[in-house]
Amino acid sequence: MAETSPDAKPLRKISVAFKDLADTVNSQSSDVEVASFSQASSLVSPLISCLGIAFKFAEIDYVAKVDDLVEASKSIHTLQSMIDRDVQANTVRKVGSHTRNLLRVKRGLDLVRVLFEQIMVTDGDSIKDPLSKAYEEVFAPHHGWAIRMAVAAGMYTLPTKQQLLITLNEDESSASVQMQNYVTASAPLIQYIEKLFLSRELGIDW
């Protein structure tokens, strides 16, 4: 029964959606659409809720930013044109702008990428070290003291890897396959987004 419900395999859904986006990026023949990017990014939210109540604030912030991109997709076709609109309106760095939210969501996707990489090379049942490494690498340089302290506290209430696998309806080997698929697919997409910023000299470290 659970096998056939649409959310039965959230990891699989994520890896399929990002594989599609990676194919678009790798084909170099068409631009990434806001709609498919925001749709794929929304599939990551259930993962954050698996991490427990301590990360509720991360989930709320992430979902709000993805929702903003979903909304944008109703009137803007590609990520490129979305950024160019903000460039023209001089709103790239404005709080709540689509382009600013895109940069934050990109970081969320990068965090998941590093997290999965680390989970696959880390022995034992704790995801604290993998998540800490991912957070240190991706978000910590951009977060103030208060948020970093809250994240550090949340690290002590994380589920174990086994608990996470049960919630995600996977076993160790099926999860590894999906995680590896996501790692492979997300890397070129993340680079593509960074290039959109860097080629317009917008920077990505803000």
Smallest distance from ligand 1PZ to CB 80, Å: 20
Q: Which is nearer to ligand 1PZ, 31 or 190 (CB)?
A: 190
Shortest spacing between CB 62 and ligand 1PZ, in angstroms: 4
Residue among 11 and 22 whose Cβ is closer to ligand 1PZ: 11
| 73 vs 106 by CB, closer to ligand 1PZ | 106
Residue 52 gets the label, from left (phi > 0), alpha (psi -120 to 50) or beta, of: left
The distance of closest approach from Cβ of residue 51 to ligand 1PZ in the complex, given in angstroms and rounded to an integer, is 5
User: Judging by beta carbons within 10 Å of its beta carbon (0-12, 13-18, 19+), is residue 25 exposed, middle or buried?
Assistant: buried
The string of DSSP letters for 131-194 reads: HHHHHHHHTGGGS-HHHHHHHHHHGGGPPPHHHHHHHTT--HHHHHHHHHHHHHHHHHHHHHHH
Q: Which is nearer to ligand 1PZ, 25 or 92 (CB)?
A: 92
The Cα–Cα gap between 11 and 17 comes to 10
Q: Which is nearer to ligand 1PZ, 31 or 150 (CB)?
A: 150
DSSP string, 56-67: HHHHHHHHHHHH
Compare residues 21 and 103 and give the one whose CB is closer to ligand 1PZ. Answer: 103
CB of 95 to ligand 1PZ, least distance (A): 5
Closest approach of ligand 1PZ to the CB of residue 110, in Å: 9
Q: Which residues bind ligand 1PZ (CB under 6 A)?
A: 44, 47-48, 51, 55, 57-58, 61-62, 95, 100, 104, 108, 111-112, 115, 131, 135, 139, 147, 151
**Cβ neighbours of residue 7 under 8 Å, at least 6 residues apart?**
13, 46
8 Å CB contact between 203 and 92: no
Burial of 11 (0-12, 13-18, 19+ CB in 10 A): buried
Q: Whole-number minimum distance, CB 52 to ligand 1PZ, in Å?
A: 9
